[in-house]
Amino acid sequence: MNGVLTILVDGDACPVKPEVFKVAERYNVPVIVIANSFINLPRNPLFERVIVSDGFDAADDWIAERADAVSIVVTADVPLAARAVKAGATAIAPSGRPFTEAGMGLALATRNLMTELRAAGEVTSGPRAFSARDRSTFLSALDEAVNRLRRKGA
């Protein structure tokens, strides 16, 4: 986003917003939380809220249009992560799993398969419960991404 390291958060269902804010404050990195409805943010000039229409993929479109090589996108949405990675951004799932160009094909194929199985009436277990370990892994992954981009001059 204009050459400034920025964290873009797909905010509606993001379970790691407190961790994002913690890392952002530590490194003085701006955060933009994008959502379809109001989300309360800590009072800090680094943090901005963007409320988009409730149209299909409105938040995803907003993020994808602004993601670039100095952006970190926090999302569990695989298609959004694919768009962000294609734009050169770093994309991280709330579990701490990084989305990479090499892994996007498999991630999209798995997501599409699971969507088709659910549409066909197949009972799937859904995602596993979010754990303290996921939170810790995410914190480490975000910290590492911020430091990597800062070393690159972002």
Minimal CA–CA distance to 35: which of 12, 4, 57, 54? 12
Look up the pTM and report it: 0.84
Report percent pLDDT > 70 for the chain: 80
Domains of the chain: 6-151 (3.40.50)
List of residues 6+ apart from 129 with CB closer than 8 A: none
pLDDT digits (tens, 9 = 90+) for 77-88: 888 999 999 999
Burial of 143 per CB tally in 10 Å (0-12, 13-18, 19+)? middle
Whether residue 71 has pLDDT greater than 90: yes
